[in-house]
């Protein structure tokens, strides 16, 4: 067993457990976009960031790939983490607003506007479909091509893939394909119609004070 500190709490998990798995086991929510329990972690969406290390010497790492280590100090909801996460979500909204998954994330983390130029992409390159295709279907019909801005998903040699087994798994697992509900703010890029969570305690304590979901104080904090 590995013993470490999670939001100040002494916890123990089996060797090889990632910080994300540990946090979820202890009931602490960390948002993810490129993680799936049935696939190998990839670390592409950067949403699952947590703060590790002694205060003053700490840094942000992706919890989905970082293994728990003896004596580690981990904070999942520090101001640094939450503010970074919020800007990342804002950037997702500015890039791919049609996804319900992303709209829900925005609602949940109280991202109410987009300050970046609005784009309309249909893929966030999380790589879930690729890992699904290769790890679950052993088909490898899709993969990444190019790098940087030009990176995208394609089939081998950009031809119709013989390897594809028409399982539809790639579409099922995609967080960007699930269209948003076209709710009340249909014309807006940000809809913010669903649950909204913005812990007021963060401003005063530099850390979340509870991990309840939803938190009563947060709900009230928002109404005021």
Partner 1 sequence: MDALKTGLRSLPELFDLQLELKKKREQRENYLAVCGDTGCTAWGSEQVKDLFARCLEEKGLSQSTGLKFTGCLGLCECGPVVIVFPQGIFYQKVKTEDIEEIVEQTLLQGKVVERLLYQDPLSGAKIVHAEEIPFYRKQQRVLLANNWKIDPSSIEDYLALGGYGALGRVLGQMSSEQVIGEIKASRLRGRGGAGFPAGLKWEECSGMPAKQKYIICNADEGDPGAFMDRSLLEGNPHSVLEGLIIGGFAVGASEGIIYIRAEYPTAVQKVRLAIAQAEELGLLGENILGSRFSFKVSVSVGAGAFVCGETSALVESVHGRVGEPRQKPPHLAERGYNNCPTVINNVETLANIPYIINMGAEAYSRIGSGKSGGTKIFSLVGKVHHTGLVEVPLGMPLRKIIFEIGGGIKGGKAFKAVQTGGPSGGCLPASMLDLPTDFDELNAAGSMMGSGGMIVMDEETCMVDLARYFLKFLNDESCGCCFTCREGLSRMLEMVEAITKGQSSMAEFALLKELAAVVRDSTMCGLGQTGANPVLSTIRYFTEEYRAHIEERRCPAGVCRDLISFHINSELCNGCGACRRKCPAGAITGEAKMPHFIRAELCTKCGICLESCPIQAVIKL
Residue 147: CB minimum distance to partner 1, A: 5
- How many C-alpha atoms does 6 have within 13 Å on its Cβ side? 23
Looking at the Cβ atoms of 125 and 167, the one nearer to ligand SF4 is 125
- Window 128 to 167, contacts with partner 1 (CB under 8 A): 144, 146-151
Which among 194, 198, 192, 193 has a CA at the least distance from the CA of 217? 198
User: Is the separation of the CB atoms in 3 and 11 below 8 Å?
Assistant: yes
Give the span between the Cα atoms of 97 and 121, in whole angstroms: 8
- Window 29 to 68, contacts with ligand FES (CB under 6 A): 32-35, 43-48, 62, 64
Give the span between the Cα atoms of 111 and 97, in whole angstroms: 12
Phi and psi based region of residue 182 (left: phi greater than 0; alpha: psi -120 to 50; beta: remaining): left
Residue 147: CB minimum distance to ligand SF4, A: 8
Q: Which of the listed partners (partner 1, ligand FES, ligand SF4, none) does 211 bind, with a CB threshold of 5 to 8 Å by partner kind?
A: none
- Per DSSP, the three-state class of 190 is coil
Q: Which of the listed partners (ligand FES, partner 1, ligand SF4, none) does 174 bind, with a CB threshold of 5 to 8 Å by partner kind?
A: ligand SF4
Interface residues toward ligand SF4, by CB under 6 A = 123-129, 153, 173-177
Q: Which residues bind partner 1 (CB under 8 A)?
A: 41-46, 49, 59-60, 62, 65-67, 80, 84, 87-88, 91-92, 94-95, 115-117, 124-127, 144, 146-151
């Amino acid at each position: 067993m590995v013993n470490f500190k999670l939001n100040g709490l002494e916890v123990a998990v089996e060797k090889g457990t990632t910080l994300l798995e540990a946090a979820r086991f202890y009931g602490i929510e960390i948002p993810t976009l490129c993680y799936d329990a049935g696939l190998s972690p990839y670390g592409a969406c950067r949403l699952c960031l947590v703060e590790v290390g002694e205060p003053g010497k700490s840094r942000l790492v992706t919890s989905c790939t970082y293994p728990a280590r003896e004596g580690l100090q981990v904070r999942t909801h520090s101001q640094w983490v939450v503010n970074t996460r919020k800007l990342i979500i804002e950037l997702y909204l500015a890039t791919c607003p049609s996804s319900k998954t992303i709209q829900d994330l925005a609602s949940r983390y109280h991202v109410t506007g987009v300050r970046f130029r609005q784009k309309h992409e249909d893929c966030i390159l999380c790589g879930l479909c690729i890992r699904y295709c290769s790890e679950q279907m052993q088909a490898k019909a899709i993969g990444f091509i190019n790098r940087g801005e030009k990176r995208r998903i394609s089939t081998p040699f950009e031809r119709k893939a013989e390897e594809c087994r028409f399982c539809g798994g790639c579409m099922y697992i995609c967080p960007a394909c699930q269209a948003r509900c076209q709710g009340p703010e249909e014309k807006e890029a940000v809809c913010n119609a669903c649950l909204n969570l913005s812990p007021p305690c963060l401003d005063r304590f530099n850390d979340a004070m509870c991990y309840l979901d939803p938190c009563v104080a947060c709900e009230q904090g928002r109404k005021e």
